[in-house]
């Protein structure tokens, strides 16, 4: 991959040296040079997009959200920047502060749960937990509404898991009552978390730095998030994997335990592909609930795969209507063979989600995404 990237960026243009005293000749010589460079960069970007199709933006805003916009889109964006954007920012911040205050009040005089360098309030019970949970679900849905997700199309599949075909009706009914250990979902955007919060209010895995953010840090602790240091090479990785496995097992066995949401792809895509699954959600051998998300769009794609966070938020808030389609599959009950082999379990759930969601299976992952973004930034910087 590194050698391919090197080849893409090593295409020097051959030009003749103009006479420094001949201004006309200099201007004529520079024009084809610029055109050649722009053409070469466009060809290189096309090559990159073929190799890293899972991370390519296909909306009108183009690569990195820096594409040339048609006049109509510029006018719509300009109007939204001075009307819709400030209003929505105010509403979003108001909802965020309100929920932070709820979390702050209902965690007063309560010591956080500390284990394996983690800190959370998911152990709270009684009315305090109920208020945090129900208000969190309601305000998450309200926040989605405020940013343009006025309706969410949810589909519940009755029989997506073909292994159920050989089971008796009584076995199926007993399995339907079994609580899954985790929700596994494809990952497209930070908006995914908001939807799942409004639906089932699960805990999830987040970067360690999130726990220290104003407002969001306390909310994450109330959710019971598992905070990890992604780039860490130390031995605490096993500790984090152990915590996730324990959370999955506990959620499966204890109805009062918070459900955990896991994105086994490990990074976001443009929504048309499904990357290889990591095994963290499947190590416990507990049943999981597969959920497939898809953002439909006409102008700006809400998927956050290869665009800066600030640019994405601005464009998202400037789009009056945003659409989300959700497909919920039946709880997937692993066979004994899948319990013994988490990799097999993960691959089988991935195949099921790809088939039911009409997603393209891809073999690339986070490492290739970083290569694509670095190359794309370099090429667009040259053009």
Q: Specify the pTM.
A: 0.82
d(CA 257, CA 244): 13
Average pLDDT, the chain: 84
* Burial degree of 83 (CB within 10 A; 0-12, 13-18, 19+): exposed
- The pLDDT score that the predictor gives to residue 248 is 93
Enclosing H/E stretch for 180: none
List Cα–Cα distances, 44 to 203, 351, 373, in angstroms: 41, 32, 13
Tens-place pLDDT, residues 342-357: 999 999 999 999 999 9
Tens-place pLDDT, residues 307-349: 999 999 999 999 999 999 999 999 999 999 999 999 999 999 9
Tens-place pLDDT, residues 41-76: 667 778 888 899 999 999 999 888 888 899 999 999
- The pLDDT score that the predictor gives to residue 38 is 52
Between 170 and 88, name the one with better pLDDT. Answer: 88
Q: Is the dihedral of CA 307, 311, 317, 320 positive or negative?
A: negative
List Cα–Cα distances, 243 to 88, 114, 263, in angstroms: 37, 12, 16
Strand duo 113-115 + 118-120: pairing: antiparallel
Q: Taking the domains of the chain in order of start, what are their residue ranges?
A: 102-158+180-296+323-381
If we measure between CA atoms, which residue out of 279, 238, 297, 277 comes closest to residue 117?
A: 238
- The pLDDT score that the predictor gives to residue 211 is 84
């Amino acid at each position: 991959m590194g050698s391919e990237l090197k080849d893409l960026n090593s295409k020097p243009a051959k030009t003749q040296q103009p006479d420094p005293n001949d201004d006309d000749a200099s201007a004529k010589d520079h024009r084809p040079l610029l055109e050649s460079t722009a053409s070469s960069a466009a060809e290189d970007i096309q090559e990159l997009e073929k190799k890293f199709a899972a991370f390519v933006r296909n909306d009108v805003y183009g690569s990195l959200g820096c594409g040339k916009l048609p006049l109509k889109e510029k006018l719509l964006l300009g109007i939204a920047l001075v009307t819709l954007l400030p209003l929505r920012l105010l509403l979003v911040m108001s909802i965020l502060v309100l929920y932070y205050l709820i979390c702050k009040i209902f965690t007063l005089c309560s010591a956080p749960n500390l284990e394996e360098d983690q800190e959370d309030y998911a152990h709270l019970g009684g009315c305090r937990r109920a208020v945090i949970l129900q208000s969190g679900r309601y305000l998450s849905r309200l926040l989605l509404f405020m940013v343009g997700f006025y309706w969410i199309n949810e589909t519940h599949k009755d029989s997506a898991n073909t292994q159920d075909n050989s089971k008796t009706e009584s076995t199926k009914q007993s399995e339907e009552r079994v609580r899954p250990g985790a929700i596994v979902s494809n990952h497209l955007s930070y908006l995914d978390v908001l939807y799942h919060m409004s639906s089932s209010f699960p805990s999830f895995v987040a970067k360690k730095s999130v726990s220290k953010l104003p407002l969001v840090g306390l909310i994450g602790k109330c959710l019971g998030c598992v905070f990890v240091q992604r780039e860490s090479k130390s031995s605490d990785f096993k500790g984090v994997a152990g915590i996730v496995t324990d959370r999955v097992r506990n959620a499966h066995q204890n109805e009062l335990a918070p459900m955990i949401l896991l994105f086994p792809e490990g990074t976001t895509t443009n929504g048309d592909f499904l990357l290889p699954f990591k095994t963290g959600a499947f190590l416990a051998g507990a049943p999981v609930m597969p959920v497939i998300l898809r953002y439909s769009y006409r102008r700006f794609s809400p998927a956050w795969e290869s665009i800066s966070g600030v640019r994405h938020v601005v464009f998202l808030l400037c789009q009056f209507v945003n659409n989300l389609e959700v497909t919920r599959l039946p709880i997937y009950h692993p066979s004994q063979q899948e319990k013994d082999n988490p990799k097999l379990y993960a691959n089988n759930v991935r195949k099921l989600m790809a088939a039911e969601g009409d997603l393209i299976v891809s073999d690339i992952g986070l490492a290739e995404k970083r290569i694509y973004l670095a190359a794309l930034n370099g090429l667009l910087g040259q053009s």
